[in-house]
Amino acid sequence: MVGRACRQPPRCAVADVTSPRASGLYVGWTRHRRLRTVERSFRYRTFHALLDVDELDALEAEVAGFGYRRPALTRFLDRDHLGAGDTPVKAKLARWLASQGAALPGGPVQVLANLRVAGHVFDPVSWWFCHHSDGSLALVVAEVNNTFGESYWYLLDDLEHRPGGVVHARAGKRLHVSPFLPVEGLDYRFSFVLRDDRIVAHIEVEEDGVRVFDATQTGRRRAFTTGALARTLLANPLLPLRTVLLIHLQALRLFARRVRFHRKPAPPEGALVRGHPAPAATGDAAQRRPSGQLPAIPGGTDPEHRASARTLHRAGVAAG
């Protein structure tokens, strides 16, 4: 469950650790906006599951149509996240954090992700929210996937907490996602609105401090029950296939507008290809800036960022 903001200490609780079920369904919209060369935006209705990884077995037992270890119409599989193999995702996450010089905090681990539906799944980004034992947010891992079967994980542990449950983070772009945006020279600015009944995840892609693209994912909470899952599936049939179709349709439209096409580079060091480690990068690819190693930027001081924060706040209020 997504909890209320707190000011002392300056960490924001995003999980009610006393709730019977922290997991929930979040129904809303995903919007993409291109802000350079050819301005274009589109949005589509989506739903995501916020899953406490310690509740997966209980959810499987309680919710008809959801499976973790057994077949079902909708499933969450360990092998769909954080690398191939059926090792529990919490253990995979702890192992990867250790390789990055970080430790899994002692509180709940939740993931906001697409479910596998009728055997199909595509999750452009899964958000791993890791908490302290008091329920406050310690770090976020952004598990980014592209349509070429590659994935890369961004460790966001230098979080900036703002009033109203807003959290900001930054990272340098490492993984090729769209053929209409390069990898080199771009940075990500992440923002989250985390509240009792709503979630907003917002990504801005910047070049030299200028926003060139953004994507916003919003959702209003529903209980993770048999009835709510059935109603959500009826309203959003075959969501993974529809997501892939919409992505390729928008790509065709940009191609028709003669937007510059960027050839896909080799995956960066640390990336996975279909769940397995990618070959080591060579040449320029090996010199890319690791995520988290960014020049210090005073958060929220520039007018564009303040305007974006106001937009994000309104999106959080109107989400779903």
Spatial separation of the C-alpha atoms in residues 224 and 220, rounded to whole Å? 12
CB atoms within 10 A of CB 317: 12
Q: Are the C-beta atoms of 88 and 76 separated by less than 8 Å?
A: no
Q: What's at 187, amino acid-wise?
A: D
Name the DSSP class of 136. B
- Of the CA atoms within 13 Å of residue 92, those in its CB half-sphere come to 19
The pLDDT of residue 224 is 97
The pLDDT of residue 254 is 65
Please give the structure tokens belonging to residue 228. Answer: 């709510």
The pLDDT of residue 280 is 65
Spatial separation of the C-alpha atoms in residues 66 and 118, rounded to whole Å? 11
The model's pTM is 0.79
If 0-12 CB within 10 Å is exposed, 13-18 middle and 19+ buried, where does residue 51 land? buried
Name the DSSP class of 120. B
Helix or strand or coil: residue 146?
Answer: coil
CA 194 to chain CA centroid, nearest Å: 13
Give exposure, 255-265, as e/b (b: 16+ Cβ within 10 Å): eeeebeeeeeb
Domain residue spans of the chain: 24-318
Q: Are the C-beta atoms of 29 and 225 separated by less than 8 Å?
A: no
- Which backbone phi and psi does 205 adopt, to 5 degrees? -100, 125
C-alpha gyration radius of the chain: 19
- Which backbone phi and psi does 58 adopt, to 5 degrees? -65, -40
Task: Encode the chain (320 residues) as per-residue pLDDT tens digits.
Answer: 333 333 333 344 443 333 468 999 999 999 989 887 767 777 888 999 999 999 999 999 999 999 999 999 999 999 999 999 999 999 999 999 999 999 999 999 999 999 999 988 888 899 999 999 998 999 999 999 998 899 999 999 999 999 888 999 999 999 998 777 889 999 999 999 988 799 999 999 999 999 999 999 999 999 999 999 999 999 888 776 777 777 767 767 766 777 777 888 899 999 999 899 987 655 444 444 344 333 322 233 333 333 444 444 343 333 33
Q: Are the C-beta atoms of 1 and 16 separated by less than 8 Å?
A: yes
Q: Are the C-beta atoms of 53 and 77 separated by less than 8 Å?
A: no
